[in-house]
Amino acid sequence: MRNVSLTNLDAAVPPSDLDAEKGVLGSMLLDPNTVDQVTRIIEDVDFHARENGILFRHMVEMRDAGEPSDGTTLSARLRAGGEFEAIGGTAYLAEVATAVPYAANAVHYATIVREKSQRRRLVSAGLDLIRNAHDDRATTSKAVEAAENAIAAATGQHAGVVDSKAGMVAAIDVIDAAGDRGRLVETGLRRYDAEYGGFGAGELVVLAARPGIGKSALALAIAEHIAARQPVLFASIEMSAAELNIRRLCMAAGVDSQRVRTGQLDAGDRRALIAAGNDLATSKLFILGGGEVGVGEIRREARRLAAKPEGLGLIVIDYLGLIAPEDPRIRRHEQIGAITRRLKITAGELATPILLLSQLNRESDKTEEPRLSHLRESGSIEQDADVAAFIHRQDQQSDEAELIVAKHRHGPLQRICLHWDGATTTFSEASAAREWEP
């Protein structure tokens, strides 16, 4: 292992293996069939030597066009494109052609090239982080998020097709996991869990309602149920951690939150709150809040919790409209689209469901009950969500409520009847679920 001092990082030789690069190209010249194998692993940009990247690109294009890719036709193509001298001419082509005696190790060479390419990108990301850390114009959170994005890009894998055999094995694994509920997280809503099994690993679940209808309360109840067994990350952007913890205490103790706000607690209230606090102290609920929160911060804390032996049971985000955009200069619907796509990717990467709260647009005030089209900037939200559900109450004074499951990739649409207790900001289940006709 080479040791590189921090004072000469810019001057250090980037990680590379030119012999492996020539091994890939030589294998491709010897056996054009290896082109199909190595292109699943690397691209032309993964080569450190510019001439090797040029040769790789031309041989792939020739293979795609059904042309022979021997030395003679490759030379003619390079000359026609004005790149023959750029790759080193006849001498370098001959060197590549004799780099390996046979093509059997093409995949091995390609894997080495890919690893070196990833390392170069990691070095670049590290250098950018150091430069941004010294730049007073760049905020710390933006610098860290840019570095995380660069690292994710550096370590990403190429997409590839899955044959029927591998696909069937993966499908059976998912079915087995569903059978033992190993990849499903029960929400504590009995009828929802009975119908759908809970939240699935990697699902993006959108829960929407008009302001003041109780979406934060229902999300917190679900989070508390799961946090009794597994860690839960609750990104509280709307409320501070102190406000959220007070709400948790009132919900658990059954104490009217208005009496807390006005300081009108009696001795019984205090005893109930203290007892609830002792119980909640053992909860595995982790709150991220206080100030501007972006997807980068949420991803960072989620990865940290997911690395624990117990894993991460759920991520709750309250709420979508308050998540700091990566680029505030772009239009709002584009910001929302970028956020929901990254959250869906995050759920998949961590194999953890994300419960994303959202508000409804003003059009919802004109109709009797919410619709998918009422989601703010609904196009990207509806597209990225695996589940979209609404909490519906006629008004803020009503104690009758419904959880309307308006979209579910893996089950029927449902209405689940709920009862709302405004004093303790809690929901309870009322009667059986029934099918919903949108």
pLDDT tens by residue, 213-265: 899 999 999 999 999 999 999 998 888 888 888 888 888 888 887 887 778 88
Question: What one-character DSSP code corresponds to residue 410?
Answer: T
Within 10 angstroms of residue 174's Cβ, the number of other Cβ atoms is 12
pLDDT value for 156: 57
The model's confidence at residue 141, banded by pLDDT at 50, 70 and 90, is low
More confident call, 250 vs 22: 22
Average pLDDT over residues 297-303: 86
The model's confidence at residue 210, banded by pLDDT at 50, 70 and 90, is confident
What span, in angstroms and rounded, lies between the C-alpha atoms of 375 and 313?
26
What span, in angstroms and rounded, lies between the C-alpha atoms of 252 and 109?
59
Average pLDDT over residues 208-216: 89
What span, in angstroms and rounded, lies between the C-alpha atoms of 55 and 27?
12
Within 10 angstroms of residue 332's Cβ, the number of other Cβ atoms is 12
pLDDT value for 14: 85
The model's confidence at residue 149, banded by pLDDT at 50, 70 and 90, is low
Listed residue (155, 99, 100, 146) closest to 127, CA to CA: 146
pLDDT value for 69: 78
The model's confidence at residue 182, banded by pLDDT at 50, 70 and 90, is very low
Where on the phi/psi map is residue 389: left (φ > 0), alpha (ψ -120 to 50), or beta? Answer: beta
More confident call, 63 vs 313: 313
Who's near 14: CB < 8 A, 6+ residues apart?
48, 120, 123
pLDDT value for 49: 93
Inter-residue contact 148 to 183 (CB < 8 Å): no
- Whether the predicted pLDDT of 185 surpasses 80: yes
pLDDT value for 295: 86
Inter-residue contact 21 to 52 (CB < 8 Å): yes
- Whether the predicted pLDDT of 163 surpasses 70: no
The model's confidence at residue 142, banded by pLDDT at 50, 70 and 90, is low
**Taking the model in full, what pTM does it have?**
0.66
Average pLDDT over residues 199-222: 92
Query: What is the share, in percent, of the chain residues with pLDDT greater than 70?
Result: 82
Listed residue (394, 185, 403, 209) closest to 310, CA to CA: 185
Inter-residue contact 92 to 99 (CB < 8 Å): no
What span, in angstroms and rounded, lies between the C-alpha atoms of 289 and 393?
28
51 is catalytic: no
pLDDT value for 286: 92
pLDDT value for 218: 95
- Whether the predicted pLDDT of 41 surpasses 60: yes
- Whether the predicted pLDDT of 45 surpasses 70: yes
Listed residue (95, 73, 88) closest to 26, CA to CA: 95
Q: How far is CA 158 from CA 19, 48, 53, 168, in A?
A: 23, 18, 17, 21
Query: What is the share, in percent, of the chain residues with pLDDT greater than 90?
Result: 35
The model's confidence at residue 316, banded by pLDDT at 50, 70 and 90, is very high
- Whether the predicted pLDDT of 421 surpasses 70: yes
Question: What one-character DSSP code corresponds to residue 6?
Answer: G
Q: Which of 43, 67, 83, 238 is catalytic?
A: 238
What span, in angstroms and rounded, lies between the C-alpha atoms of 300 and 129?
16
- Whether the predicted pLDDT of 416 surpasses 60: yes
**Average pLDDT over the chain, rounded to an integer:** 83
- Whether the predicted pLDDT of 379 surpasses 60: yes
Average pLDDT over residues 307-328: 85
- Lowest average pLDDT, out of 35-44, 171-180, 184-193, goes to 171-180
